Amino acid sequence: MLPSLFLATTAATIASAHTIITYPGWRGNNLHTNTEWPYGMQWSYPCGGLDLTTNRTYWPTTGGAIAFQPGWFQGHQTAFLYINIGVGTDGPDGGPLNMSNPMMPPFQILGPSNGPYPGTVCLPQVPLPTNWTMNPGDNATLQIVEIAAHGAALFSCVDITFAAPGDPRIAEVNDTNCYNSSDLGFASIYTITTTAIGSNANNVTVSAATSLRLLGSSIWALGYLPLLLGATWLLM
C-alpha cells in the first residue's frame, strides 16, 4: 500500500512531498498544499497541522522502533532528523503542550538526489528520554522533525499508548515495515566551539563600535555561535 501511495502522491505533488511515518503509524495524511495550507501543511508545528488523534497505536514502554520515509520533500538531499516525544493533555488540541523531549541525538540523512526520492529509515530501538519511565496505558505523541538544507522544519507525529514489551497489540517489527533503504546514508552531527562564552564576546575595538551599534543586539550571537557541521554538508 505504501509504495503505491508514494508513487501516486509523488506524481501529484512533485514539488511538495513530505515525511511519512511508516511505523508505528501516523496521525494521518498531511501532505497537502492548498488554500488552507498555502505553504504546505507539514511545515506547521508541532504535528504538521494535524490535531491529536484517538486511533492510537501501541508502542513499548521500553522504547521501540520508528520507521519513516524522509524523501517526500524536494530539497532533502541532506536533512537533519530529530525524534521527540510529548506527553500530557495541556495542548490546545488536548494533546501534549510541547514536543521538547528529544529521544536520541539528531542525525543527518544523505539522500540520493535533491528531488523527491523513495526510501525508508528504520530506527529499531528508539529509547525514552533519559530517566523517563512510562507505564502501560500511558499516552504520548512521537514527533519526527526533518530540517531541510535551508533550515525550515517538517513535522509529523503519531499518537501512541504505551504497552508492556511483548504485548500482542504492539505491531510486529520486521524486514517489511522497518528497514534502511540502500540508497540512503547517514552522518553524525556535531559542533565545535569557536569562541567560548566570555572569552571575547564584548571585547570590541573603538573602530568596531560603530558596527556594534548598527548590528545592535545581534552581535552577541557571534560570541558563541557554534560551527555546525555535518560530516557531509552540501550547500544548495
Ligand X SMILES: *[C@@H]1O[C@H](CO)[C@@H](O)[C@H](O)[C@H]1NC(C)=O
- Based on the number of CB atoms within 10 Å of its own CB, is 36 exposed (0-12), middle (13-18) or buried (19 or more)? exposed
Q: Is 104 among the residues that bind ligand X (CB under 6 A)?
A: no
Q: Is 182 among the residues that bind ligand X (CB under 6 A)?
A: no
Binding to ligand X (CB under 6 A) within 43-82 occurs at: 53-57
User: Smallest Cα–Cα separation from 75: which of 138, 4, 15, 139?
Assistant: 15
Return all residues near 185 (Cβ < 8 A) that are at least 6 apart: 109, 110, 232
94 grid coordinates: 488536548
Q: For ligand X, what does the binding mask look like between residues 190 and 209, x meaning CB under 6 A?
A: ----------x--x------
Cβ-count burial 190-199 (b if 16+ within 10 Å, e if not): eeeeeeeeee
Query: Which backbone phi and psi does 211 adopt, to 5 degrees?
Result: -70, -30
Q: In degrees to the nearest 10, what's the CA dihedral of 110, 116, 118, 121?
A: 40
Taking the complex as a whole, how short is the minimal distance between the CB of residue 143 and ligand X, in angstroms? Answer: 12
Residue nearest to ligand X (CB): 25
Q: Is 180 among the residues that bind ligand X (CB under 6 A)?
A: yes
Binding to ligand X (CB under 6 A) within 133-162 occurs at: 137-139, 158, 161
In the complex with ligand X, the residue whose CB is nearer, 203 or 217, is 203
By CB under 6 A, the count of residues binding ligand X is: 36
Q: In the 8-state DSSP scheme, what is residue 216?
A: G
Among 5, 8, 97, 215, contact with ligand X (rule: CB under 6 A): 97
Q: Is 189 among the residues that bind ligand X (CB under 6 A)?
A: no
Q: Is 98 among the residues that bind ligand X (CB under 6 A)?
A: yes
Q: Is 223 among the residues that bind ligand X (CB under 6 A)?
A: no
Taking the complex as a whole, how short is the minimal distance between the CB of residue 180 and ligand X, in angstroms? Answer: 4
Q: Which amino acid is at 33?
A: T
> If you search the block for the grid coordinates 532533502, which residue do you land on?
76
* 57-60 and 153-163 beta bridge pairing: parallel
In the complex with ligand X, the residue whose CB is nearer, 150 or 172, is 172
In the complex with ligand X, the residue whose CB is nearer, 37 or 179, is 179
Taking the complex as a whole, how short is the minimal distance between the CB of residue 113 and ligand X, in angstroms? Answer: 19
Stretch that binds ligand X, among 3-11, 96-104, 215-223, 228-236 (CB under 6 A): 96-104
- Strands (E) in 117-152, as ranges, are 121-126, 139-147
Q: In the 8-state DSSP scheme, what is residue 82?
A: E
Binding site for ligand X (CB under 6 A): 25-26, 28-29, 53-57, 87-88, 90, 97-98, 100, 122-124, 130-131, 137-139, 158, 161, 171-172, 174, 176-180, 186, 200, 203
